[in-house]
Amino acid sequence: MKQGTIFKTFVSRFLILILNFGLVIYTTNQWGSEGKGTISIMVANLTVISFFANVFVGSSMSYFAKRYRTEEILPFAYLWSVLIGGVVSVVFSFNQAPEYSCYLVILSVLSALLAANVNLFVGQQNIRMFNLYTVLQQVVHIAFIIIIIYLIRITSVEAYFIAQISCFGLLFLVSAIQVLRPCSFKKLSFPKAAGYKLFDYGWKTQVSAFLQFLNYRLSFYFLEYFKGIASVGIFSVGIAFSEAVWTVSRSLSLVLYADVVNNKSPVEAIEKTKVSLKMSFLITLVFIVMMLMIPAQVYAVIFGKDFSRTKEIVLLLSPGILAIAVSNIIGYYFAGINKLRILNVKSLIGLIFTIISSFYVIPRWGISGACIVTSISYCLSSGLLFWQFYKMTEFRIRDYFLSKAEISLLLNKVLKKK
């Protein structure tokens, strides 16, 4: 891994974390639990649609960025973005309040187009630009919210979606200029071989990612159905804490993935995965303990009285949070070596458990039941993934702890610049 890459990626993720929590605090206080629930369902729908789009614009763009010319893969990504964003989002809009359907369609297209450019940076190992655009998605979104609410005076929850559309549109245009500048427009084409490989790799990775997403978000839909939209808003704040803690593992996973797909040494890839896994486990554990030390009353003061149960939600989710922090690392390793079947199996097992147990648990115990189901699902799927990694490597007790050499290596990477 390049000197300072982990640190810079972590810093960018930490900035996103701070900005995202600022946005969560604002939305909960501005629009309450129902408004936050509406945003959460809308974002969940958008994410589901993105899985269809990511067949071409997701990890397949990163994986084939150095295997094909940009002129051969970007046309597939852009065309697919428009088709999927336009068609699939219309289907999902039937399950969305009519006043938000148009926003869903536009957001789907623009987010897919932007994702194609950003994931191309990852494949080119231009992590700096990837980090910049992931931070800008939060910064620009917040800036447009301020403009729309306080200057244009649109104060309904629609302001959130209008701002997001403006953000995605602006960032896509800027990133497209950067991506297309070195390209020759005469060489833009749709080669069948490239298209087939993009699709074959893309759908396999997205099946796993989509199934895992359902593990993350299916409880939203069960809660909305059985307990109402306000319960979704309350539960979503706890989930936001989970995803905040995963900042560490996702930062490490991103850098690891970029290394593995461009690395010719299997032994070196495994060793890097082991180090990343241990770092993720220990740092995530520290974050969880810190969150649980915060009094419940503090959460209520920050997010509003509707969210007094946030600490309880975080506590119930904490075993699953830790499990996913570990499995994120291993999952990216398997994706980097193109071993995708195990990712699909582990996600499917977690999803089956979530569906079966949710019908029984959530109607009876509501938000607490959703937390328990989600946490157990995370542990089941992560346990299977870890077992598969364990079988193909030699693990010893000391592998669970950072050695002095690894701590020195970590400090060297974190503190030194490129």
> If pLDDT is split at 50, 70 and 90, which confidence band does 4 have?
low
User: H helices of 124-191, where?
Assistant: 127-150, 158-180
Per-residue pLDDT, 418? 40
Residue at token pair 């989600």: 374
81 vs 242, residue with greater confidence: 81
Q: Give residue 143's pLDDT band: very low, low, confident or very high (50, 70, 90).
A: very high
Range of the domain at 51: 5-410
**Least confident span in 132-141, 171-180, 208-217, 261-270:** 261-270
Report the range of poorest mean pLDDT among 49-58, 87-96, 115-124, 324-333. Answer: 87-96
Write down the mean pLDDT value for the chain.
Answer: 81
Q: What pLDDT, on a 0 to 100 scale, did the predictor assign at position 59?
A: 81
Q: Residue 415 domain-assigned?
A: no
Residue 404 contacts by C-beta under 8 Å, 6 or more apart in sequence?
A: none
Place of tokens 């896994």: 277
With respect to residue 417, please indicate whether it lies within any of the assigned structural domains. no
User: For residue range 339-364, what is the model confidence (pLDDT) as tens digits?
Assistant: 777 877 888 888 899 999 999 999 99
- Higher per-residue pLDDT: 369 or 254: 369
Mean pLDDT of 174-182: 92
Determine, yes or no, domain membership for 71. Answer: yes
What pLDDT does residue 403 have? Answer: 63
- Residue 414: is its pLDDT beyond 50? no
Residue 81 lies in a domain: yes
Whole-number pLDDT of residue 256: 59
Confidence of residue 77 (pLDDT cuts 50, 70, 90): very high
Share of the chain above pLDDT 70, in %: 83
Contact status, residue 335 vs residue 358, Cβ threshold 8 Å: no
Q: Has residue 416 been placed in a domain?
A: no
Per-residue pLDDT, averaged over 255-272, amounts to 64
> What total of structural domains would you count in the chain?
1
194 pLDDT higher than 50? yes
290 within 8 A of 214, measured Cβ to Cβ: no
126, part of any domain: yes
pLDDT of residue 417: 40
Tell me, what's the pLDDT at 152? 93
- Segment 56-75 shows an average pLDDT of 87
Buried/exposed 251-289: b ≥16 CB within 10 Å, e otherwise: bbbbbbbbbbbeeeeeeebbebbbbbbbbbbebbeebbe
Q: Is the pLDDT of residue 303 over 50?
A: yes
- Would you state the pLDDT for residue 282? 78
- For 197-245, how does the pLDDT look when each residue is reduced to its tens digit (9 = 90+)? 888 888 877 776 777 777 777 888 888 888 888 888 888 887 877 777 7
For residues 108 and 85, what is the distance between their CA atoms, to the nearest angstrom? Answer: 5
User: Residue 118: what pLDDT?
Assistant: 92
Structural domain includes residue 183: yes
In a domain, 418, yes or no: no
pTM score: 0.69
